[in-house]
């Protein structure tokens, strides 16, 4: 199976592994496409005004970010780099070895800068506000244009669960059969806490590793109950009621 997942705006600093190389990419043959984006980003960081960088990074304090060099800085697994709500609730560090290995090889994270990468691939620290352009360059449109076909081919025979936030459909909209999810509390859709439930679900998927929808339905997620399943052309949207 494959899990599609969002990145996080917050990240740990530093790294322990080697610098970025071609093995950090989902499709090594498309390395030049990744490199094009990364080179634009690095050049922009090195040559732009503080005002432009504040806009690019989406934070006021850019003192530590101005020295980032994604080609020279140390790396760490993407799933360990990100520290947002979804990743906190996923709790990667607490998983068993086999569960970690499963996520490393089967979770595809859609980075705002690196595009689609496996969770276990090593990346340096970076900052790029969601939806922000590099000068006039729209990252999400570029990745959607150049990577959608490869992603479709990769997922063609995979049981696929899309746990991404809606924004990341701008990077890739699956054509293959897949599962999406929505979370309701008191009949209303939750947004911020949906990240926590996505993280919890990813954790359970790592434990049970379902290979089809029937096996997926057998998993009992804490505090969630299936209210409805909406079938569409190539997707099944699971509507969960939050029980507490």
**Each residue's pLDDT tens digit, 86-113:** 999 999 999 999 999 999 999 999 999 9
What would you report as the CA-atom Rg of the chain, rounded to the nearest whole angstrom? 18
Evaluate whether 90 touches 200 at the Cβ level (below 8 Å).
Answer: yes
Checking if the pLDDT of 140 tops 90, the result is yes
pLDDT score for 53: 95
Evaluate whether 142 touches 110 at the Cβ level (below 8 Å).
Answer: no
Q: Which residues contact 112 (CB under 8 A, 6 or more apart)?
A: 7, 128, 129, 130, 132, 139, 140
Write out the E strands in 193-233: 224-231
Of 75, 78, 83, nearest to 117 (Cα)?
78
Write out the E strands in 22-93: 76-77
Checking if the pLDDT of 128 tops 90, the result is yes
Segment 130-157 mean pLDDT? 96
Q: How confident is the model at residue 176 (pLDDT cuts 50, 70, 90)?
A: very high
pLDDT score for 190: 87
Q: How confident is the model at residue 192 (pLDDT cuts 50, 70, 90)?
A: confident
Q: What is the pTM of this model?
A: 0.95
- Cα 158 to Cα 59, 60, 101, 178, 179, distances in angstroms: 38, 42, 17, 9, 12
Domain that holds residue 45: 2-242
pLDDT score for 186: 86
CA-to-CA distance for 224 and 240, rounded, in angstroms? 6
Evaluate whether 53 touches 63 at the Cβ level (below 8 Å).
Answer: no
Segment 200-204 mean pLDDT? 97
Portion of the chain with pLDDT greater than 70, in percent: 100
Q: How confident is the model at residue 57 (pLDDT cuts 50, 70, 90)?
A: very high
**Quick one: CA dihedral 187, 190, 193, 195, positive or negative?**
positive
Q: How confident is the model at residue 28 (pLDDT cuts 50, 70, 90)?
A: confident
pLDDT score for 25: 78
pLDDT score for 27: 87
- 103, two tokens: 């996520």
Average per-residue pLDDT in the chain?
94
Cα angle 41-19-164, degrees, rounded to a multiple of 5: 60
pLDDT score for 151: 97
Q: Beta strand pairing status for 107-111 and 2-5?
A: parallel
CA-to-CA distance for 14 and 17, rounded, in angstroms? 10
How many independent structural domains does the chain possess?
Answer: 1
Segment 155-181 mean pLDDT? 96
91 Rama sector, left if φ>0, alpha if ψ -120 to 50, beta otherwise: left
CA-to-CA distance for 203 and 214, rounded, in angstroms? 18
Q: How confident is the model at residue 166 (pLDDT cuts 50, 70, 90)?
A: very high
Portion of the chain with pLDDT greater than 90, in percent: 85
Dihedral angle over CA of 215, 86, 94, 226, nearest 10: -30
pLDDT score for 19: 86
Evaluate whether 22 touches 180 at the Cβ level (below 8 Å).
Answer: no
Q: Answer with the residue of higher pLDDT: 16 or 224.
A: 224
Helix 50-57, helix 31-47: angle, nearest 10: 140
Segment 64-68 mean pLDDT? 90
């Amino acid at each position: 199976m494959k899990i599609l997942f969002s990145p996080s705006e917050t990240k740990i600093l530093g790294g322990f592994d080697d610098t970025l190389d071609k093995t950090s990419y989902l499709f090594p043959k498309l390395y030049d496409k990744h490199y094009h984006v990364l080179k634009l980003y690095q050049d922009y960081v090195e040559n732009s005004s503080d005002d432009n960088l504040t806009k690019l990074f989406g934070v006021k304090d850019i003192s530590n970010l101005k020295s980032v060099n994604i080609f020279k800085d140390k790396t760490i697994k993407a799933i360990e780099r990100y520290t947002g709500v979804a990743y906190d609730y996923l709790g990667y560090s607490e998983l068993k070895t086999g569960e970690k290995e499963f996520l490393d090889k089967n979770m595809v994270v859609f980075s705002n800068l690196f595009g689609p990468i496996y969770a276990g691939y090593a990346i340096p620290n970076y900052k790029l506000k969601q939806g922000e352009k590099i000068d006039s360059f729209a990252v999400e449109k570029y990745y959607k244009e150049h990577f959608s076909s490869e992603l479709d081919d990769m997922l063609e025979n995979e049981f696929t669960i899309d746990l991404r936030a809606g924004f990341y459909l701008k990077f890739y909209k699956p054509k293959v059969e897949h599962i999406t999810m929505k979370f309701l509390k008191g009949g209303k859709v939750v947004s911020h806490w949906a990240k926590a439930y996505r993280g919890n679900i990813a954790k359970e998927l790592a434990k049970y590793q379902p290979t089809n929808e029937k096996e997926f339905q057998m998993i009992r997620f804490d505090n969630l109950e299936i209210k409805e399943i909406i079938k569409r052309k190539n997707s099944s949207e699971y509507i969960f009621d939050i029980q507490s």
